[in-house]
Amino acid sequence: MAGVVGRVSLRSSVSRAALATGIAVIFTQSALAQSVQQVRPQTQNEGSGAAAVEGSVELSPITVEGNSPNALNATTGLARLPGTIQDTPQIVNVISQQTLQEQNVTTLEEALRNVPGVTQAIGEGNGGLNGDQFKLRGFEAKGDIYLDGLRDFGVYVRDSFNAEEIQVLKGPSSESFGMGTTGGAINTSAKTPFLQDMFGATIGGGNGPMGRATVDVNRKIGEATAIRINALYHDQDIVGRDHVHSDRWGFAPSIAFGLGTDTNWTLSYFFQHTDRTPDYGVPMLIVPPGTAASKGLPITEFGVPRSTFYGKETDHDVSNVHMLTSRFKKEVNSWLTISNDTRVAWYRRDFATSGPVCAGTTTSPAAYAASCSGQFFAGLDPTYTYTGGSPTYLQRSWGAQNVLTANAKFNTGFLRHELVVGLDLFYQEDHRDAGQTVGTKTAGTVRNPNYLNTGYALLPNPNSLRHSTGGDIGVFASDRIWFTDQWSILGGIRYDRYKASYRNFNGTVWTEERAESDL
C-alpha cells in the first residue's frame, strides 16, 4: 500500500509542475515501476531487482501535458480580425483576466494604465464629458470604445466586473472598425458562458471608505448550452475629499447555445447604474499679485485643506446603461464561417456640477486687491463664485449596430488565403436637454464653502435643446495571403456612407445642420 501511495504522489506532483512550467512529462510503465521500487520498502518475503518490480501494481502509461499561456497565440475573438494577435499587423496590447485579478482592477480606466500611449482626458468641452475619455496616441478616442467588437458609445465610467480581457489596437483601424479609430481602438471582451459549472465571488474594502463585491456564476444546463451571470455592487467615498462619492451596481446575464458545435449563439444583457459626484476640484489663485507673470495655483497650496469641497449637494452624475447583444456564428463547412453580431443600447445621463472660481486680475494693483485672490492673500476670507461653464443637462441616447461577416479559407496554387468580407450597419440618436438654476446659488467663502442648496433649484431649460442623429453603412473586405507559414501579406479596403444631422433650439427657433460623407 505504501508503494501505491508513493506512486500517486509522484505523478500528481510532476503533473502540477508540468502545468506550471509548460513542460510535457510522459510516464512509461518502467518509469512508474522504478518509482514504486524506490518508494516502497522491501519485506522479507520480497526479492530484489526484477522480482520487486514484478510484484508492483502496474498502471497504464500516463501523459501529462501543459501549455504556458501566450497572448501572441490568442485570437482577438472578432470575426473581422481572424487569426492570432501575432498575425495582426498592428501593435496590440492585451490586458488578460489574470492581470485584471492580480491588480484588483475595478474600471476600464484603471486597466488601461497598463498600456503605454493611452491617456485619460479630464472631459472638458461644452458639456462636461466626464466618464471614460481616452486618447490613443494623442488622438481622441471617445468614439472608439468597443465591447465584443461592437460600439459602446455612452459617456459613463465603465466598470470591469464583466470584462474577460481588454485589447488595445494601436494605429489607424478604420478598415476593421469603421469611422474614427485614427489612434486605434479599445475593445473589451465580455465574460461569456462555457460548458463547466463555476462559482466565483470577491469582497473587498479600502480607504474612503470603499466596499466592493462581485459574483460570477456559470452553469451548464445542457449538452451544448450554458448560462452565466455576473453582478457587481460598488460603494466608494473618494479619499481626501468631502461629499464626493462614486457608487455603482450592475449585472450581466448571458446564455449560449450550441457551445462546442458548428453553430452557436450567445445572447447577453448588460446593465450598469452609476451615481457619482462630479468634482471640479478647488479654486485657482492668481499669483504673484498683479504682474504680467501671474499664474494660477491651487488654493490648497496656501493652507486650505485638500478635503474642502466647493460644489453643491445638488451636484450629481447619474447614469443608466442597457445593452442587449446577440452574437451568432455558423461554420458552414471546413472553409467558410458566417458571423452576425447585433447590439441595441440605451444610455441615460443626468448631470449637474459646480465649478468654483476665485478670480484675480493683473490690470492694476487696486483691481487685484479687490479680487478674490487679492483678498485671500490679504488675510481675508473672500467669497468665491461659480464658473458659467458649470453644465446641467439630461442626456438620452440610443443606438444599434449590426456587423455581418464571412470568413473564407482556401488555396490558389501554393498560396493560402484567409478572406474576410462584411457589412457594418450603425445608427445612433442623441437628445440633450439643458438644465438651469432657478434662484441664487450661494457659494460661500473659500475657507467655509456652502454645500447646501438653499435658495435655488435645478430645473429643465426649455430654451436649450440639442438633438442629433448619425448613421453609417460600411462594406469591407480583406485578404491575407500566406506565402509560407512565416510570411504573409494582408490587404484590405472599406467603403462607408455616413450621414448626420444636428438640431438646436435656442428658445425661439430650431436650427438644423446636415452632413453626408463618403469615406
Model confidence over 326-380: pLDDT tens digits?
Answer: 999 999 999 999 999 999 999 999 999 998 999 887 778 888 888 999 899 999 9
- Is 137 within 8 Å of 184 (Cβ atoms)? yes
Please give the residue that has the higher pLDDT: either 389 or 260.
260
CA 512 from centre of chain: 34
Residue 391, CA distances (Å) to 57, 311, 398, 439 in order: 79, 13, 22, 16
Go through the domains of the chain in sequence order and give each one's CATH number: 2-64 (no CATH), 71-190 (2.170.130.10)
Residues in the chain: 519
In this predicted structure, what is the pLDDT of residue 34? 38
pLDDT digits (tens, 9 = 90+) for 465-488: 999 999 999 999 999 999 998 898
Residue 414: burial class (beta carbons within 10 Å; 0-12, 13-18, 19+): exposed
Q: 365 in helix, strand or coil? A: helix
Task: Using the predicted structure, report yes or no on whether residue 233 has a pLDDT greater than 80.
Answer: yes
Residue 357, CA distances (Å) to 124, 237, 244, 284 in order: 16, 24, 19, 7
pTM of the predicted model as reported, rounded to 2 decimal places: 0.81
| Run of H or E including 274 | strand 263-276
CA 116 from centre of chain: 16
Nearest-angstrom CA–CA distance, 219 and 199: 9
Measured between its terminal Cα atoms, the distance across the chain in Å is 76
Q: Position of cell 441595441?
A: 344
Confidence of residue 11 (pLDDT cuts 50, 70, 90): very low
Confidence of residue 24 (pLDDT cuts 50, 70, 90): very low
pLDDT digits (tens, 9 = 90+) for 30-74: 333 333 333 344 444 444 444 444 556 677 777 666 555 666 777
In this predicted structure, what is the pLDDT of residue 70? 67
